[in-house]
Structure 1
Amino acid sequence: MAIDWYNEFVNLNYEPEKNELICLYYFEPAAGISGREAAGRIASESSTGTWTTLFTMPPRMKALQATAFDIEGNVVMIAYPLDLWEEGNAVQLLSGIAGNIFGMKALKNLRLIDVSLPSAYTKHFKGPHFGNDGIRKMMGITGRPFTGAVPKPKIGFSAREHAKIGYETWMGGFDFVKDDENLTSTSFNRFDDRVEHMTKLRDVAEKETGEKKSAFLNITADVETMKKRADMLAENGWNYAMIDVVVAGTAAVMTMRDYCSDLGLAIHAHRAMHATFDRNRKHGITMQFLAKLMRLVGVSQIHTGTAVGKLTGSRRESIALADLLREKKTAAVEGMLLEQDWGKIKSAFPVSSGGLHPGLVPDVLDIYGTEMVLLVSGGIHGHPKGTRAGATATMQAIEAWQEGVTLEEKAKNAKELKEALGKWGHYKPV
C-alpha cells in the first residue's frame, strides 16, 4: 500500500525562513522506496510525522513540520522550524536531527553532513568561555602554534614517570603535556597522584624556562567525579581540563562547560569514539558536525586530524574543520559545509594530532597555519636523543616554516632537527 503522508513533508518550491535550522543529509533509499518518499520520511520522522495519517491533528501543527526543499541525487536539504527546538538544549537537537531517522528501514544509508544554525538558535548557547584570543592571553603565546605531547606509550606509566616525561617535554620548549583518551585514574596512575607530580614539575619547568607551562589532564568520568577532578585542577593552578567529549556525552559536556568556566578552566576535547559514526562516508554523522556541536556547547579546542599523519581525514576536510572552529562566519563548501554565522559564539582551536614528527610539521602548518594546537607525541619521544631533544626538534621545524626555509636547510644549524630527519625524514605513517 502506498503511503502519501510523507509527500506532505516535501516541497521543492519551499523557501526556508531566516530562523529555521537547515540540515544537509546524504541518503540512500531502501529497495522500493523513491528518493522523494525517502526524503519525506526523514523530514517526517525528525519532526512531527509518524507512519500514517492521524484522525485528529491541530491545524497549528502544520507550521511545525520539517520540509525537504532541495533534493539532488542522494543529497537532501531539510528546513526545521525554530519552535521545534528547546532553547539551549543541544541534546534535544540531536534527538531530532540525529535520532530515530537513523533506524528507519526505508533507508539503506543516512548521513548527517552539516547543520546551519540560525542566530535565533545559537543565541541561547554560551560557546567557548575564552575564545582563541583569550587562550593566547592566558598562555602568553603569540605568533606560533601551541605545542603539546602525550607521554608514550599512552597508558602504563606511573604518575611519577608520567610527570618526568612531561617535564622533559616542557623543557624541550613545548607548552602542554597531554593525557591520552584512555588514561583517567588507573591503579598504577591515579588522577590525584598525577596532578600532584605534574604540578610540582610544572612549577620547576616554569621557573627554569621563564615560560608558561600547562597540561590537558583527563577528567573523564561520571559528571560528579569530573567536577571533583576539575576542582583539584583549579586548586593546583591548572588552566585546562580534558574531556573525552563523545564518550562522556553532549549533556555532560554542557554541564562541565559551565562548571569549568566558573573555575577558570578551558576544555580540551578529545574525540575518542568519533570514528564509530563519522568514518563511513554513507552513514552516520560527519566530523564537521561534531566539531560544530562542540564549539556550540563550549569546548576550547577539539581534535580535527592531520591529513598527513596516521588517522583518516583529507586536507580539504582539515581546512573545513579548522575554519568552522576559528572563523566568525564560514561559507558553504559543496557537499561538506553549510553557511554559518556564529554571532557572539567565540572561536575554538583545531587540534592536529596522530602520527606526527618534526619532518611533517611544515605539511601540517601549510594546512592549518599557526592558529592551532600541534600535538607531536611519538614523534618527540622516539627521537634518537630522547624527549627533550624531540620537542626541541619540533620547535626548530616550526621556526623553519616561519622563516620560509626547508627543514634540511634549518637542520644545518639545528642538530636536534637533523637527528630527527635522520630517523624519520618526511615519512607519513599509515
Structure 2
Amino acid sequence: EYVKTLAAKVFEINGNLVKIAYPIELFEEGNMPNILSSVAGNIFGLRSLRNIKLLDIIFPEKLLKSFRGPKYGIAGIREILRIYDRPLVGTIIKPKLGLKTEDHARVAYEAWVGGCDIVKDDENLSSQCFNKFEDRVSKTLESRDRAEEETGEKKIYMINVTAETNEMIRRAEYVLSQGGEYIMVDLLTVGFAALQSLREADMPLVIHGHRAGHAAVTKNPKHGVSMRVIAKLARIIGVDQLHVGTVVGKMFETREEVKCNIEALKMDMAGLKPCMPVASGGLHPGLVPALIDIFGKDFVIQAGGGIHGHRNGTIAGARAMRQAVDAVMMGISLKEYAKDHKELAIALETWKI
C-alpha cells in the first residue's frame, strides 16, 4: 500500500497536453541517467501511444542543487574574454574535415586576426590521421598566442575533445596542460553520463556544448524530446554555452522555439549560473541585425561559410562579421556602415542583402 504514495500522478490535462508530477523520492540526486530513465524512458515505446513528446521538465530545487551546473556561465565567459558589451564573434574551421594540422592552425589564425573572438573545431573533427589531436592543440594554440600578440585582444580556441569518456577527460586534461581555456563536446553523442563525468572532473575549462544529433529527437513536433529539455539538462549538468538554433539560419526551429531554448539557459534555476546561447548554422554578416533582435547581446554568433566564404578570404570575412556587430551595437544600418567598411560591403553584396 505504501508504494502507491510514490506513484506519478497526472495533475492536469488540457487537450493533448498532459502534466505529470513525480515524487522526488523516485530519483537519485546527482544522477541524470536515472532521472531520464524515468521521465523519458520506456513510455516512448508503448504500443498504445502513437505519438508522445516531452516538452519540458521542471526540476525541484533539491535535485537542481545536486548538480554542479555551469562553472563559468555568461558572466565568467565575458570575464575570460574581457568583452562585456556585445555578442561574441566566432567561427568554425572550414572545410570541416581534411585540413592538415598546419593549415587548420593557419585558418584559425586568419579568423582571429580578422576579428573573431572564438575559433571552434568542427563537431566531426577528433583525432584523424590527417589532423591528430595533440598536434592540433599545440599548433593552433600557438596561432592563438600569435593572434593575441598582434591584435591585443583575447582569443579563444574551442577544441573538440569528444571521445570515449576516459579518453575525453584525458584530452581535456591535455588541453589544460597546453594553456587552453575552452573545450567543446558533442554532448548528445557522448551521452549525458559522459558529459556529467567531464563536468565532475571540475577542470578550469569552459565547456562548449554542441548538439550534433539533436534533431533525431527534437525535430518531429509530435514525438520525441524538445530542445528546451535538452538545453535544461545540459545547463544543469554543467555546460557553459550551448547551440540553441538561429531562426534566421539554415536550422529548422521557429522563433518561438529558439526563444524558448534561450529562456531555458537563462531562467532562474536554484542559483545555477546562466548558460551562454550559441547561434550557428547558415549565418553571415547580413543576418546580424535579426540575430541580435532575437538573442540580445549575450550570445555567440558562430559562422562558418559566412566568414570563410567571403570572396577576399577568411580575414576579410571575420572583419565583415565584426563590422556588422559593431554597426548594430552603434545603431547604424548595415548598408550605411558598409559605405566606409569594404569587407562588410562585399559580404552584403555576396549574400544579397
TM-score in terms of structure 1 length: 0.81
Which residue, out of 74, 81, 99, partners 1:139?
81
Aligned counterpart in structure 2 of residue 381 of structure 1, from 286, 293, 308: 308
Segments of 4+ in structure 1 off by > 4 A? none
Secondary structure at 2:131 match in 1? coil
The aligned residue for residue 104 of structure 1 is 46
Query: 1:202 aligned to 144, 152, 156, which one?
Result: 144
Q: 1:405 aligned to 2:332?
A: yes
Mapped to 2, the partners of 1:123 and 1:239 lie a distance apart of: 26
Unaligned runs of 5+ in 2: none
Q: Deviations over 1:166-216 (max 9, x none)?
A: 000000111111111111010111111111110111111111111111111
Gap runs ≥5 in structure 1: 1-58, 329-341
Cα distance in 2 between the residues matched to 1:127 and 1:290? 14
What is the aligned-residue identity percentage?
A: 46
> Whole-Å Cα distance in 1 between the matches of residues 270 and 16 of structure 2?
31
Determine whether 1:236 maps to 2:178. yes
**For each residue in 1:310-337, what CA deviation from the matched residue of structure 2 results, as whole angstroms up to 9, or x when unmatched?**
1111111111211221232xxxxxxxxx
Q: Distance in 2 between matches of 1:369 and 1:344?
A: 22
For residue 164 of structure 1, report the CA deviation from its aligned partner.
0.3
Scaled by the length of structure 2, what TM-score is found?
0.98
Which residue of 249, 252, 262 corresponds with 1:312? 252
* Equivalences for residues 1-80 of structure 1 within 5 A: 59-80=1-22
Deviations 1:73-130 (A, max 9, x none): 2110001001011011111011001101011001001100001111122111110011
In the TM superposition, 1:107-256 aligns within 5 A as: 107-256=49-198
SS in 2 for 1:216: strand
Could you tell me how far 1:425 is from its partner in structure 2?
2.4
- Residues 237-263 of structure 1 show CA distances to partners (whole Å, capped at 9, x for unaligned) of 11111100000000000000122x3x3
SS at match of 1:109: coil
Distance 1:151 1:125 in 2: 33
> Where does residue 45 of structure 1 map in the other structure?
none
> How many positions carry a matched residue from both structures?
353
Q: How big is the shift at 1:150?
A: 0.7
Q: Which whole-Å CA distance do the structure 2 matches of 1:84 and 1:425 have between them?
A: 55
More displaced 10-residue stretch of structure 1: 398-407 or 94-103: 398-407
Which residue among 37, 53, 56 is the counterpart of 1:95? 37
The two structures, once aligned, show a CA RMSD in angstroms of 0.9
- How many Å apart are 1:375 and its aligned residue? 0.1
Quote the Cα distance in structure 1 between the aligned partners of 2:295 and 2:52: 30
Partners of 2:142 and 2:187 in 1: how far apart?
Answer: 28
Distance in structure 1 (CA, Å) of the matches to 2:31 and 2:271:
17
Contact kept in structure 1, 2:182 and 2:207, CA below 8 Å: yes
- Mapped partners of 1:63, 1:252: distance in 2: 33
Higher relative contact order (CA 8 A, sep 6+): 2
Contact 2:30 2:67 in 1 (8 A): yes
Give the Å deviation of 1:423.
Answer: 0.7
Question: CA–CA distance in 1 between the matches of 2:88 and 2:350?
Answer: 24
Aligned equivalents of 2:96, 2:291: Cα separation in 1: 22
> Is 1:291–2:231 an aligned residue pair?
yes
* Whole-Å separation in 2 of the counterparts to 1:237 and 1:175: 17
The residue type paired with residue 264 of structure 1 is P
Show the counterpart of 2:343.
416
